[in-house]
Amino acid sequence: MKQEQVCASRPVTSLLYSSGRSTTPTDPRGASQPDSVIFVVDDDASMREALAGLIAASDLRVECFASAHEFLQRAAPNTPSCLVLDVRMPDIGGFELQHELAAEGRDLPVIFITGHADIPMAVRAMKAGAIEFLPKPVKGEDLLAAIGQALERDRRARAQRAELALLRQRCDRLTDREFQVMARIARGKLNKQVAAEFGLSENTIKAHRRHIMEKMGANTFAELVAMIERLL
């Protein structure tokens, strides 16, 4: 796999639109994070160099790829990340790559860039969940703002997936009976109703309920219900 690990000292500025203001803030909307990585996929080498220079100048790690095929060989990152993706490329186009990533379960925020923008293309990109759709030449401040938004979305999504995985681990610690009791009390059934259904004493159901709260790490019944709703 041909991968470009870039720490460019300067961008090819002719390929980036300048509004006369600096396009290299040190912390674009909170994007600058030491554990973040920005992937750039574009078949135009000069554009890759320009984008890499802009992104690297904002203290962000950037990896560049000349094709969608090269990028697909890269293992999924375990850190907040996003993809700056050209729409039109020779082998696999940007939309096709986005679709393939989704099919693989790689929920990576995408920022599309293109030199051939039109309204239907932009609508298609946004409907597919793109963070932004930017025409070339790219405005540096717009790209950095979109990257900040993309990284924040990915950071939140990763935190939510981690929390859900933890809840599932806790749920796996429940006995079959505890799981059955939890499902019923979450639907609003009273202890005596659950006890009658299973032919158990109300004290036994209360004991199950206490064990459920402990194993799930819930401090209140409302918190337990919220956990169950997330698991459903």
User: Same domain, yes or no, for 18 and 83?
Assistant: yes
CATH number of the structural domain spanning residue 63: 3.40.50.2300
User: Same domain, yes or no, for 129 and 210?
Assistant: no
Q: What's the average model confidence in pLDDT over 159-174?
A: 95
Q: Which residue has the tokens 């999924």?
A: 76
Query: For the chain, how far is it from start to end, CA to CA, in angstroms?
Result: 40
Cα–Cα distance between 222 and 44 in angstroms, integer?
54
Contact yes or no for 68/96 (Cβ under 8 A): yes
pLDDT higher than threshold 50 for residue 9: no
Does 69 reside within a domain?
yes
Q: Which of 129, 160, 191 is the last residue of a domain?
A: 160
Cα–Cα distance between 201 and 220 in angstroms, integer?
23
pLDDT higher than threshold 50 for residue 108: yes
- Which helix (H) or strand (E) element contains residue 70? helix 68-72
pLDDT of residue 18: 43
What stretches of 75-220 show up as alpha helix (H) in DSSP?
94-103, 119-127, 140-172, 176-186, 191-198, 202-216
Does 168 reside within a domain?
no
Q: What is the pLDDT of residues 51-88, one digit of tens each?
A: 999 999 999 999 999 999 999 999 888 999 999 999 99
User: Same domain, yes or no, for 134 and 201?
Assistant: no
Q: What is the pLDDT of residues 171-193, one digit of tens each?
A: 999 999 999 999 999 889 999 99
Q: What is the pTM of this model?
A: 0.76
Cα–Cα distance between 167 and 163 in angstroms, integer?
6
Q: What is the pLDDT of residues 114-154, one digit of tens each?
A: 988 778 888 888 888 899 999 988 999 999 999 999 999 99
pLDDT higher than threshold 50 for residue 112: yes
User: For residue 154, with 0-12 CB atoms within 10 Å meaning exposed, 13-18 middle and 19 or more buried, which class applies?
Assistant: buried
Domains held by the chain: number: 2
User: Same domain, yes or no, for 14 and 99?
Assistant: yes
Which of these ranges, 112-126, 146-160, 216-230, has the smallest mean pLDDT? Answer: 112-126
